[in-house]
Amino acid sequence: MRLKLLKGFDISVLYICDINNYIYLPNDSIINELDIDEEISEEEFLSFINLNFPEKLDKFIKILNSNKNYYSDGKTKVNEYTICIHPSRKCNLKCKYCFGNEDYLSSDEISLETAIKAINYIVLNYGANGSMYTVDLSGSGEPLLRIDLIKKLDEYCDRLRNKIGKQILIKFATNATLVSDEIADYLHNSKCIIYGVSIDGNQKQNMNRQYKSGKPIYNDLIKGIDKLNNDLLGLAVTITHKNEDVDEIYSHLYSLGVSAISMHFVRDYTDSDTSLYKIDIDNLLFHYNKLLNLIINNIKAGNNEYIMPLIRGDDYFGVLIKKAFFKGNIPKFRCPAGRSKFAVNQNGDLYACSVMNGNRDFYVGNIYDGIDKEKQATFMNSNIEMSEKCNDCWCKNICAGECMANSYLRSKTLYEPNDFLCDLKYQLIPKAITFIEYLRLNYEETYMMIKNFILSSVTFSHSDSATWAVLKFLKNKKCNVTFSEVSNSLSAMKIIECNSFEKGIHPQYVEKYLSNYDNNICAVYINNADSFEEVKQFPIIAYLNKVESPYHQYFFIEKMDKKFIYFKTVKYDTVKSIGIQEFLDNFSSVFIGDFYDLVKN
């Protein structure tokens, strides 16, 4: 086993590299019992834990046993599927670092027909067993140049989710300069759309972003943000050597009242003025330290919310903070590219990555013939074990490897990470781990707020199974309802306990909602198969109460016979059968349906 001593915020943490876990060291001297510069055996490590942290011994034994073979064979279950569509190849800007002019990017734009076929392929075919779907309209141009296409896709995705009962979201990033009152009003009232704005900080920091005439866009960008009335998913920043002061960027964007802030590094690996390699890592890390101190000072002043935009977004550093909460978890894939996330071009060809949409090295099939399994295998099998450099790195099991597109753009391979980004992560990961341990030790309320949000967001990749089950139930009863109606009504009833990361809808609210359509609807407890003989009216909804889960889950039961229950789940929309008593013992004893006669008797 390999160990690493991490220091920061006047605390010390022992990181256990092999299992991506760590322990706060209240006394640095206890580390002298281990030679952390050399590999140690599991027996030596467990002996150290037993001597100094006996209450953690059983936990570490389980973690060690569960991580013997942690790299995936590609069969890991997927909840969320994404199809990336570049609605426009054109843009009204000419940003200095834009990659929109790459040779592999065609100038042809996708048609509505092809976009819909691509959505259908992912939702109804390749990803039919998913629980949630995202249509990502960000790409190589400005999406709002094709607002009519966006509106039509919004309408179509709403109809499709009404049909399948699962969440389908459309998301995109805009430069906001084209936002009119009419567009802002539409986006605010749209059925499926969430969106963000790209902005690189204050007026000076934003100078890489300009109109084709060379005129800066900052004032028009702010006007666009104001029109959107803070109804934003978040703000996205591209960091170059012109805006390394991440603390000042964050402070400025936070003042705009946004929900999420994400800062990522430019994908320019040339020797141009916007090159990644012009960034001064020491200066960048200096500003990351200032950002963390800024966050801590706000927490001390009682402003716990100050850190949340960093946690809600997919910020480069924020993601590392979130990963640090998942102790003992080892990512099986570098990213979902080519597995559950694809990009489609104007011809219906599918690529493993939106950034590489059109690059034949990332081609994996098309929406007409399906995925080419041989080509897909390149991406399905891409993990840190494929990189010699990653294998020797102490933080590989929390990092999981760099973006495949970044690797390719730098070295024309998927496996060799970018040295600059490796060096950056190598220094940011210790900051992330020691920072959250510092919060845990000194600001427990803030720590738990972040932890509960992160744990609850894991279930965001699931459609709410209560909405799905209720929609199927009411459609079976010939009731004309929509996904939005059911979801909004159930959400209005939802109660989440304080400091709980529980997600979903409690069965009492499902019962209450359905009773609006039929007074005979009620919830009952059934504990044995014999009692099930009294159930005459189908379908019914079953609530998963026999398994611990961070969110409420439901089954849809279509029918039963003397021995078996036939049911569906939100993820697997095909009928499965199971013995009645086995279902009652292992899954559910709470049922919602037309049980009036059963209760009356």
Q: How many Cβ atoms from other residues are within 10 Å of residue 164's Cβ?
A: 20
Task: Give me the DSSP letters along 339-389.
Answer: TTEEEE-TTSEEES-STTTT-GGGEEEETTTEE-HHHHHHHHT-SGGG-HH
With beta carbons less than 8 A apart as the criterion, state whether 452 and 501 touch.
yes
Work out whether strand 554-560 and strand 540-543 pair parallel, antiparallel, or are unpaired.
antiparallel
Residue 276 pLDDT > 60 = yes
How far out from the chain centre does Cα 493 lie? 25
Rounded percentage of the chain residues whose pLDDT exceeds 70: 94
For residues 137 and 87, the answer to whether their CB atoms sit within 8 Å is yes
Strands 521-525 and 261-265: unpaired
pLDDT tens for each residue of 535-592 = 888 999 999 999 877 678 999 999 998 899 999 999 887 899 999 999 999 999 999 9
Average pLDDT over residues 12-31: 92
Q: Quick one: 68 exposed, middle or buried, by C-beta within 10 A (0-12, 13-18, 19+)?
A: exposed
- Report the percent of the chain where pLDDT is more than 90: 69
The per-residue pLDDT for 103 is 66
CA–CA distance from 308 to each of 66, 101, 121, 318, 596 (Å)?
32, 35, 36, 10, 47
Q: What's phi and psi for 253, nearest 5 deg?
A: -70, -35
* Interatomic CA distance for residues 71 and 80, integer angstroms: 20
Average of per-residue pLDDT across 106-111: 85
- pLDDT above 50 (res 72): no
Mean pLDDT of 290-305: 97
Q: Is the pLDDT of residue 500 over 50?
A: no
d(CA 289, CA 244): 12
Please name the residue that has the structure tokens 């809808």.
505
- For the ranges 98-107, 132-141, 511-520, 569-578, the lowest mean pLDDT is seen at 98-107
pLDDT at 78 (0 to 100): 79
Instruction: Choose among 213, 236, 241, 211: nearest CA to 225.
Output: 236
CA distance 490 to 451: 25
Q: How far apart are CA 376 and CA 352, in angstroms?
A: 8
- What is the Cα–Cα distance from 103 to 413, expressed in whole angstroms? 18
Domains along the sequence of the chain with CATH: 3-66 (no CATH), 80-456 (3.20.20.70), 464-600 (3.90.70.10)
Q: Is the pLDDT of residue 443 over 70?
A: yes
Lowest-confidence segment of 5-19, 55-69, 212-226 by average pLDDT:
55-69
* Residue range 364-373, pLDDT digits in tens: 999 999 999 9
pTM of the model: 0.92
Residue 217 banded pLDDT, cuts 50, 70, 90: very high
Whether omega for the bond prior to residue 507 falls within 30 degrees of 0, making it cis, is: no
Residue 282: burial class (beta carbons within 10 Å; 0-12, 13-18, 19+):
exposed
Position 330 scores a pLDDT of 84
pLDDT above 60: residue 132: yes
**β-pair partners for 7:** 12
Residue with tokens 């991490």: 6
